[in-house]
Structure formats: structure tokens, C-alpha cells
Amino acid sequence: MKKILVLLTMTLVLLFGCDQITDDVNTNNNNGENNNTGNQNQGNNEDNKDNQNGENEKTDVFTIKLIGFYGEEVCKLEVKPGEEISLPENVANILCWNTKANGSGESYNGTAVFNQSMTLYAILLPENSFKITYELNGGINNPANLYSLKENEYSYLKNPTKDGYIFGGWYSTSGFNGERIYYLPLRDEDWNDIYENTKLYAKWYKEATPLEVTANTAADIISELSDGVYTVKVTGAIDFAAIESIKTAMENNQNVLIDLDLSETTGLTSIGYIPDDADEYVQFSCSNLTSIIFPDCLTTIGDNAFYNCFSLTNVKISANVTTISYCAFGYCNNLTKFDVSENNKNYSTSDDGKILYNKDRTTLIVYPGATGDFVIPNDVTTIEAVAFYGCLSLTSITIPDSVTLINSQVVFRACDNLTKFVVSENNENYSTSDDGKILFNKDKTKLIAYPSAKGNIRIPDSVTSIDANFFYGQNLTGVTIGKNVTIIDDHAFIWCNNLETVVLSDSVTHIGNGTFDGCDNLTSITIGKGVTTIEKHAFESCDNLETVNYRGTQEQWEQISIDSGNGNLTNATINYNYTGN
């Protein structure tokens, strides 16, 4: 595929709207021939295209018009079908080029292939953000991939596509050195987040290499495979030891991507963790697993079976699978195809295979690849636990009146960009905040989901309790508890590492076990005089807690039952009879 390098001196054009510019559009093929489709005249050049043979190729080109920040036409690019162009990116404050001036359309930066004429508008990089650029090497980017992140924000990467090729992963270098990149921001050797402008390169393979191995030899063979994509068909009897060795071999050989076919194995009845029956289990969390076919003997896909399988795109479920448990496909953001046997009596899929349902499609079990705005189908009555876990590209959910049960508060956990819930007015069980960011029960006394909570938040006064683990790991900096909350349950704010201040109302009576465990930036907390119980380790790891503002007297403070593991609280400076906010 040819690649057009668009070399434009555009900074002044975009920032100040110059009347004339110079467009240099240069295309070079592999043997060094010049296939220049542009010209070097100032102004409008769309009628002056000549190839080396002097033939006019107007009928075989698309026109890509670029519009600057102030609505001025920067230039027109004429490209042939299938050609890849490098869009201008070395312009101050430019994020990407978008099909709509307000940035709500389809975005492009880095390299792109166009299949029709279009107009693209320059979009400003958001304030205090870093830029992500995609070098697609002839592919087409997934529209869910973000083009910018702010500090303390995260994004899991989606796979691009390229006709006739298999995606081989994102890399941080053009030579595809180092490990594949599955999420942003990048991290250093000590797993510290690196918030800086980032360029990602898409690697492609022409085809997969088929291999047929026995259960006993599979691990050794996988360990020795060189860089590439492999379809590995395993045959024969397989037990937990064999499947564990295959998993380990894949984890240790990150140069390969594996389509794993277990359809002709025998003996494997479960995979993943099974509570109360966990003598032997394998959680197959391999980031380089791209697809899996289960054997007919498999009946149970247990807890976390394929958690963090970032590359997993296809799962084939046989007829005898009866149980798919908690978070079996958590963080499988590229899983876009479930293939369920027609003879399976328990499970089915959406028509496109992206969503896994129970047999009659009344329970939505999991939609790991959910992106954008999603409308729950009208026949759904139940949304199963962790159905949308880790769907960072999901932005809104519409819930019809048919939904009677959302099975737990972790259904939408780690959906950081889910900022809008739309609930039917006729739904008898659920409602939302005025801005749609919070999902409540009908009378708004219970928080069901608040995935976009970040920065300083206030828990609404209508809420009476905060469930266990509700804000687990969220990017909060300050929390004010509404005046009717009585109970803050176990681990409600665990690992909210950026949480600095907390204000509890006088209505709070109970602070649960490990409530603020891991909040190592917490410096001050205001506690109302209604608190009677602080459970074990509620302030574990809160090493920077300096100030406790207590609204009651010292005598009342001494009456509070404070369990063990709360030295960070009791050793802080306590201001009694506090009257501030």
C-alpha cells in the first residue's frame, strides 16, 4: 500500500488563518519512483494533478479538505482509494482532525486511509491533557480509541482493522520493540504512570500459522514459538495441570498471539475459580489470547476465568456450558463476538454476537466490548453483575421500563467515561440524578452506580447509605456526605488514592471495615457527632492523615467504638467541637 506523506507548514495557518499556503503532497513507492499527486503552486491546486505518464486520474481520487481552527480552508488533499496519508500533527494545540467542527464526529490523527471525499476540522487539544497519536500502517482506527487523556485518567485500547490482515498489537516504537501496549497511560518499569504525549504504532500479520499439538506437548511448543500469530489446536485428554502449563507458556512468550482451539480435548469440565469447589482451577488471564473454542465437556466458566484477556476477540461456547460466573470476561474490551451453540439451553447472543444473554434474552449477562451510547433492549429484565465491567469506552446507557433488577453496584465499575444514564420514566425501580451521572433506586435513597465520579463530589441528601466497595479505586479528591447517610459500608472508598478530604454529616453512625483503606493522600476528615462505630482498618494506610475535625466534644469522641488498625485516625490532631464546613 502506498503512503502519502503530507508535509505542511501549518502552524501559522491554523492559528492565524493565512490566506495562502504551500501544499506538498509526496507519494513514494517501494522502488523509489515518484508518484506525486500534488503540486507546489500556492492556492487552489485541485485541478492540477498529473502522474508520471501525464494521464489524468481525477476519477480515481478523493478530496480531503482540511479546515483550521477559525474556519479557514487550510488545504485540499487528493488521495487515491487505499492510500494512507499522514495527517498534520506538529501544530500547536492540535488534538486531531474531525468530520464535525464541534468534534462530535469521527476523528483522525497520525495516519489514515480514506474511502470517500470529506471535510475535516482541526480540533484543539483539551487543556491539561496529553495527546495520543495513532500510526495505523494502513489500518482503520477503532472509533472508541481516545485521542487525549488527562492526568489520573485511563483508557483501554481497542483493536483497529485492516482488510486481509490480523492485528498484532499496539507498540510504542515504529520498530515494534518491547511489549504490546494494552492501555494508557504508558508505565515505567516501576509501574508509575507516564502522562505525556504518546504515539502508538499498529502491527499487522498477514496470516496465522496453524499448529496441532497434544495436551502434553502444547506448553513446550508454545514456549518455543517465534514472533507471530498462531492457531493452536489441542487434542487429547487435558487436565488442570496441562491447561495451567499452557497458560504459563503463553504468559512467558509474549511475542506470540494465540487462537486456542480446545474443541477436541476431553476431561476439562471447568475453567476459572469456582467458590466452594476450588480444589483445582485455572484463571486463564493471558493478554496474548485472541480467541478460544471450548470443548463439549466444559460445563462451567468460573469467576475471573478470562479476566484481563485484553486481546481476546472471539469466544465459542459449546452446548453443555451451564454456568458463566462472576467477571468471567472482565476487562476483555476487544471481545466482540460470542459464538454460542444453538443447542445450548442456557445462553444466547445478540444478533451480532457482541452481547451474551440468557437463553430467552431477558438477562443481559455481559457486553465486554460496549462503546458509545448503548440502549438496553426492551425485553431485558435483568442486568447481571459486572455486565459492563471495565467498559471505558461506554459513554451512556439507556434503561427501559422492563429492567427490574440491576444485580450489583459493580455492574458499571471502571466505566469511567459513562457520564449519562437515561432511565424510562415508567421504570418502577430506577431513576437518575438531574444530570444523569448517578443511577439510583426509584426514590433515590440508594446509590446504584456513579462510575464517572471524580474530583470533588457530594453525595445527595436523599441517599441513606453507601454500599460496600462502591467507590473502589475511583479518582476522587474530595467527598462530602449528604445529611441523611447513616451507614458507610465496608471498603466503600478503598484505594481512592487521590482522595484528600472527607466531610461526614452528623447523620453518619457507622464507618465500616476498611472504608478508607489505601487512601494514602487523605489529609483531613470531618466527622459528625453521630458516629458511634468505626470498624477495623477503616483508615489503614492513611499515613498522611493529619487532621480530624470532630463536631462533638472530647467526651463524645471517647465514647466512639474505634476498632483495631486505626492508628492513623487516633494519632492525628483532633479538633473537638468543630463548627466549620
DSSP string, 327-350: TTTTT-TT--EEEE-TT-SSEEE-
* Backbone torsions φ then ψ of 434, nearest 5 degrees: -60, -35
Q: Do the Cβ atoms of 61 and 37 come closer than 8 Å?
A: yes
Measure CA of the first residue to CA of the last residue in the chain; give whole Å.
64
Cα(143)–Cα(108) distance, integer angstroms: 9
Q: Do the Cβ atoms of 170 and 202 come closer than 8 Å?
A: yes
CA distances from residue 263 to 75, 235, 312 in whole angstroms, order as listed = 55, 8, 17
The ranges of the chain annotated as CATH 3.80.10.10 are 454-581
Sheet with 430-432, side-by-side order of all strands? 430-432, 439-441, 447-449
Q: Do the Cβ atoms of 268 and 295 come closer than 8 Å?
A: yes
Pick the CATH number of 454-581 from 3.40.50.300, 3.10.150.10, 3.40.640.10, 3.80.10.10: 3.80.10.10
Cα(446)–Cα(471) distance, integer angstroms: 14
Cα(258)–Cα(472) distance, integer angstroms: 33
pLDDT for residue 34: 32
pLDDT for residue 3: 42
Cα(519)–Cα(501) distance, integer angstroms: 10
Residue listed under C-alpha cell 454460542: 340
Q: What is the gyration radius of the CA atoms in the chain, in angstroms?
A: 28
Cα(101)–Cα(90) distance, integer angstroms: 20
Q: Which residues contact 412 (CB under 8 A, 6 or more apart)?
A: 388, 389, 391, 394, 397, 418, 439, 449, 451
pLDDT for residue 505: 95
Nearest residue to 70 via CA among 127, 123, 126, 8: 123
pLDDT tens for each residue of 496-533 = 999 999 999 999 999 999 999 999 999 999 999 999 99
Cα(389)–Cα(411) distance, integer angstroms: 6
Cα(376)–Cα(355) distance, integer angstroms: 11
Where on the phi/psi map is residue 17: left (φ > 0), alpha (ψ -120 to 50), or beta?
Answer: left
Q: Which residues contact 395 (CB under 8 A, 6 or more apart)?
A: 371, 372, 373, 417, 418, 419, 420
pLDDT for residue 486: 97
For residue 43, the tally of other CB atoms under 10 A from its CB is 10
pLDDT for residue 192: 87
Report residues of the chain scoring pLDDT below 70: 1-59, 90-91, 276-279
Cell numbers of 38, please?
Answer: 500534488
